[in-house]
Amino acid sequence: MKRSLLFLLTVLLLASCGRSSVKPAADPARAANFNKSYPIVDSLLKVMTLEEKIGQTVLYTSDWDVTGPSIRAGYVDDIRAGKCGNIFNAYTADYTRRLQEIAVNETRLGIPLLFGYDVIHGFRTIFPINLGISASWDPELIEQSARIAAREAAAAGLHWTYSPMCDICVEPRWGRISEGAGEDAFLGSAVARAMVHGYQGADLEDTLTIAACVKHFAAYGAPHAGRDYNTVDMSERWLREFYLPPYKAAVDAGAQTVMASFNEYDGTPATANAHLLTEILRDEWGFDGFVVSDYTGVMEMVNHGTSADLSDASIQALNAGNDMDMQSGGYSEFLKKAVEEGKVSRKTLDEAVRRILTVKARLGLFEDPFKYCSREREAALTKTDENLATALELAQESCVLLKNHHDILPLRQGSSVAVIGPLANSADDLLGTWRGAGQVDGVKSILDAIAEHAGHVYYAPGCDVSKPGQKGFDEAEYTARRASTVVMVLGEPCDWTGEAASRTSIKLPGEQTELLKRIAATGQPIVLVLLNGRPLDLSEESLLADAVLEAWYPGTMGGEAVANLLFGEASPSGRLSVTFPRNLGQVPIYYGAKNTGRPYVNIGAKYESRYLDCPNEPLYPFGYGLTYTTFSYGKPVLSSDGFGPGGSITARATVTNTGSRSGTEVVQLYLRDMLGSVTRPLKMLRGFERVTLEPGESREVEFTITEKELSFWRKDMTFGAEAGEFRVFIAGDSCAEDFVTFTYND
């Protein structure tokens, strides 16, 4: 069917107006926000009916069954009538083309659909979960992984991903901690920038890029009791200091869309929180893309108790700055009447539609609605050797070696290994939660990967991963005694983390710890490999095992990555991006906590901020991780004793590989503000650098400190630095004690 005459006239109008001569910015950090004008957006707004405008604010899901992708008949009718302008969960080049043809050829104006999907840590090639990715402390490689994900997704007809997740979290009970970058705003900001750059590249019109979506705005990672979707309540200062920076970093990097979070903030659901969506996001930060609700987020405002019904919720959400309704159907059903009755102004609706159409224009969809629908590109760019090599590299960098007693690792090639544990032979669990369109076919389990390195492999699952029962213990013990070393693969089932996967315990589920005790009683050396999506209570396991390797859910190439690390073909370089507590009673525990009026400084003193039954210190601190070598640090040296506004100071330290193997150290810079108009954290991460050194090699690592690194939300809620003394720590984790001082004079 031919395009409508009106659409062709609109295209002619675009041609007569001409395209702006402004080119995409060379800096990819701002490339997605280049100042092109899109006359077609204005042209369409002039001729669109009220129903067609509302249709652009509607986002409905596609489905998937055994025969492939499918869509509900009613949604097809809505697309054809111009009542649905966006679809999520629809992919493959052929399927998206079929839906796009309906929108372009069978509607009055031929406005193309926008296709979105949860491409969280890979599309077909699955990378480690995001908590694992952040443990690499390698923004360049993280950006590369996002670029690969974008290429694969775009080749499958997708335009838009609901990523990066920028939610800072210090609550391991919350299942979605697995999807974020951990506990620190500085590291989280670096990860957010890298992922936006990777998805969007330098030019959104490139068919190998997709639009990013910053989520979940805001503070979704701080639910009370760690229970998903639960209430979030905090001061404005804590929100801005601790939680907002990664979202802002992603927006500053050019992210085209933002997703409102499920939670409330300051008594108002984020879905209709004008303070978040308009005052901060648009007025303060200058965000010019569109905001989308989370799945049925508009509908859920009724349950929150701030909306009388779905009509009321829809009005509140759009007026607050939420441009697109994901799956609730409220905008579609109620906005027309709301506009006609003046409850939503035509200007407010037009601005929402303008933002949505502009993102479509930036993606080049008006010039070629089918540019992403290439079967040939889909076949050529999916799970290539290059993609898999990057997945292997990032999986190896993401694993964190927590313990290596008596240098039991690396194992000797060709040695005999007993592989025990319910997750050892599971390829599926390696992919983790939110695995995009990843498939287990061709994924090698840890057991299979170890078999390619060991001389003899003996295997026993030992127990179920989560159910009670010790029926397999005897076989596991017999298996352990047959080999020179035992590798135990324990953890959480992959569906025990992610959305709606909160836990009241962060111990290993089922009988796994009891299985470890049984094997440890044999006296055999034990290497514990962990698959999990949250910090766990490893207080018992860390004593029972000789070595502990935190592998998270390492993705498509995770089996090979773990085996390469165990047998020394790769060296561990991951560092924790989140604190591991000694037990759940310490939670929330994080390195950037503030001091108290009674800090714990005197061992044995009663009236200090401490526990009666547990040390204050974590089991494994933020930034921690071992390698197969050792490093020493010289005392930090400063270029001067202070500076003032507009100035800077250089901090440097010499790092030396004091071991016998090559290794990579993550050198970390922390600052402490000794006096402020409001209380300040004990330490703040303000820089890091990965450094690879040969045995005996030394390198001077240098960081520049400016006013920006000292700034915070002051007592009067202005943002900036204050005069005073600062301590500088340069070390391998957040427990650094050696420091030098400088003075900032304002």
Q: What is the pLDDT of residue 605?
A: 87
Helix (H, G, I), strand (E, B) or coil at 11: helix
pLDDT of 33 higher than 70: no
DSSP 136-186: T--HHHHHHHHHHHHHHHHHTT--EE---B------TTSGGGGGS--S-HH
**Which pLDDT tens digit goes with each residue over 255-305?**
999 999 999 999 999 999 999 999 999 999 999 999 999 999 999 999 999
**Cis amide bond preceding 461, omega within 30:** no
CA–CA gap between residue 156 and residue 95 (Å, rounded): 9
CA–CA gap between residue 44 and residue 54 (Å, rounded): 13
Cβ(620)–Cβ(576) under 8 Å? Answer: yes
Region 137-157: what's the mean pLDDT? 98
CA–CA gap between residue 280 and residue 273 (Å, rounded): 10
pLDDT of 19 higher than 80: no
Q: Which of 146-160, 230-244, 283-297, 597-611 has the lowest mean pLDDT?
A: 597-611
Which two structure tokens, joined as six digits, stand for 712? Answer: 């915070």
Helix (H, G, I), strand (E, B) or coil at 359: helix
Q: What is the pLDDT of residue 604?
A: 78
Q: What is the pLDDT of residue 699?
A: 98
**Which pLDDT tens digit goes with each residue over 671-696?**
999 999 999 999 999 999 999 999 99
Residues 6+ apart with CB under 8 A from 632: 655, 656, 658
Q: What is the pLDDT of residue 66?
A: 64
- Angstrom distances, CA of residue 221 to CA of 19, 292, 609: 42, 18, 26
CA–CA gap between residue 501 and residue 149 (Å, rounded): 25
Q: What is the pLDDT of residue 9?
A: 43
137-160 per-residue burial string, b: 16 or more CB within 10 A, e: under 16: bbbebbbbbbbbbbbbbbbbbbbb
Helix (H, G, I), strand (E, B) or coil at 621: coil
Which two structure tokens, joined as six digits, stand for 300? Answer: 């859920």
CA–CA gap between residue 362 and residue 701 (Å, rounded): 41
Q: What is the pLDDT of residue 20?
A: 31
CA–CA gap between residue 541 and residue 549 (Å, rounded): 11
Question: How many CB atoms are closer than 10 A to CB 697?
Answer: 13
pLDDT band at 746 (very low <50, low <70, confident <90, very high): confident
pLDDT more than 90, % of the chain: 93
pLDDT of 697 higher than 50: yes
Q: What is the pLDDT of residue 64?
A: 80
For the chain, give the number of residues.
746
* Residue at token pair 């352990």: 480
How do strand 663-673 and strand 724-731 relate by DSSP bridges?
antiparallel
- Angstrom distances, CA of residue 82 to CA of 69, 242, 322: 22, 42, 20
pLDDT more than 70, % of the chain: 95
pLDDT band at 35 (very low <50, low <70, confident <90, very high): low
Query: Is this prediction's pTM over 0.75?
Result: yes
Supply the DSSP symbol for 367: T
Query: Which ranges in 539-693 belong to alpha helices (H)?
Result: 541-544, 558-566
Check residue 549 and give left, alpha or beta (phi > 0: left; psi -120 to 50: alpha).
Answer: beta
pLDDT band at 13 (very low <50, low <70, confident <90, very high): very low
How buried is 264 (Cβ within 10 angstroms: 0-12 exposed, 13-18 middle, 19+ buried)?
buried
pLDDT band at 644 (very low <50, low <70, confident <90, very high): very high
Where is pLDDT greater, at 11 or 682? 682
Q: What is the pLDDT of residue 437?
A: 96
Which two structure tokens, joined as six digits, stand for 177? Answer: 């901690």
Cβ(535)–Cβ(172) under 8 Å? Answer: yes
CA–CA gap between residue 64 and residue 70 (Å, rounded): 6
Ordered by start, the domain boundaries in the chain are 394-586, 631-744
**Which pLDDT tens digit goes with each residue over 355-365?**
999 999 999 99
CATH topology of domain 394-586: Rossmann fold (3.40.50)
Cβ(223)–Cβ(263) under 8 Å? Answer: yes
pLDDT of 3 higher than 90: no
Helix (H, G, I), strand (E, B) or coil at 351: helix
Catalytic choice (138, 294, 325, 673)? 294
pLDDT of 528 higher than 50: yes
Cβ(109)–Cβ(47) under 8 Å? Answer: yes
**Residue-averaged pLDDT of the chain:** 95
pLDDT band at 602 (very low <50, low <70, confident <90, very high): confident
Residues 6+ apart with CB under 8 A from 217: 247, 258, 259, 260, 261, 270, 276, 277, 281, 291
Cβ(117)–Cβ(158) under 8 Å? Answer: yes
Region 311-339: what's the mean pLDDT? 98
Q: What is the pLDDT of residue 321?
A: 98
Residues 6+ apart with CB under 8 A from 267: none
Region 19-23: what's the mean pLDDT? 30
Does 294 participate in catalysis according to the annotation?
Answer: yes
Q: What is the pLDDT of residue 37?
A: 84
Q: CA Rg, the chain, in Å?
A: 27
Helix (H, G, I), strand (E, B) or coil at 737: coil
CA–CA gap between residue 412 and residue 408 (Å, rounded): 10
Q: What is the pLDDT of residue 198?
A: 98
Q: What is the pLDDT of residue 698?
A: 98
CA–CA gap between residue 460 and residue 437 (Å, rounded): 31
Cβ(218)–Cβ(287) under 8 Å? Answer: no
Q: What is the pLDDT of residue 319?
A: 98
pLDDT of 549 higher than 90: yes
Short-list 124, 133, 127, 132, CA closest to 151:
124
Cβ(306)–Cβ(272) under 8 Å? Answer: yes
Region 448-467: what's the mean pLDDT? 98
CATH topology of domain 631-744: Immunoglobulin-like (2.60.40)
**Which pLDDT tens digit goes with each residue over 507-519?**
999 999 999 999 9
Query: What are residue 520's phi and psi, to 5 degrees?
Result: -60, -30
Cβ(298)–Cβ(58) under 8 Å? Answer: no
pLDDT band at 496 (very low <50, low <70, confident <90, very high): very high
Query: Which ranges in 277-329 belong to alpha helices (H)?
Result: 301-304, 310-320
Q: What is the pLDDT of residue 65?
A: 72
Cβ(450)–Cβ(563) under 8 Å? Answer: yes
Number of DSSP helices (H) and strands (E) in the chain, helices first: 24, 29
**Which pLDDT tens digit goes with each residue over 337-392?**
999 999 999 999 999 999 999 999 999 999 999 999 999 999 999 999 999 999 99
